[in-house]
Amino acid sequence: MKNHHPKLGLAIAAALLIVGCAGNPPTEQMAVSKVAVNAASSAGGNEFAPVELRSAMEKMDAANKAMAEQDYPLAKQLAEQAQVDAQLAAATARSAKAQKAATALKEDNRVLRKEIDRNAPNNY
């Protein structure tokens, strides 16, 4: 039997190629996102950015579930979102820690100034 619709065959082949490409597991993105979530946690995300870190972790869990179900486009999308949330959590945590350190330094300076003033001889 002869193929009377060569364009149809070409279209089907192209569609299969596209579906085949979409079917590749996003293992690299999953790894990058996992590292970002771990880094955010290590940076103090639990203490200083709990909402952002929780969002990243939940999206990472959903990405892992999508990977297990071989829904690779969804897994990649969720992993990318987890990475962005994790980066926000890490940046928020670093900023909060820096602010906390600056506040502590100001307080130390205030206490030191008070001690200096108290111990200074009265030359009036």
pLDDT tens string 64-106: 999 999 999 999 999 999 999 999 999 999 999 999 999 999 9
Single out the residue of 61, 62, 41, 42 nearest to residue 52, CA to CA.
Answer: 41
**7 is a domain residue:** no
Write out the residue range of the structural domain in which residue 40 sits.
29-94
pTM of model > 0.75: no
**Is 37 domain-assigned?**
yes
Q: How far apart are CA 102 and CA 59, in angstroms?
A: 33
Distances in Å between the alpha carbon of 48 and those of 20, 38, 82? 42, 15, 17
Q: Which of the four pLDDT bands, split at 50, 70 and 90, describes residue 19?
A: very low
- Examine residue 54 and state whether it is found in any structural domain, yes or no: yes
Q: Judge whether 38 lies within some domain.
A: yes
Q: Considering just the CA atoms, what is the radius of gyration of the chain in Å?
A: 27
Of all helices (H) and strands (E), which one includes residue 80?
helix 72-119
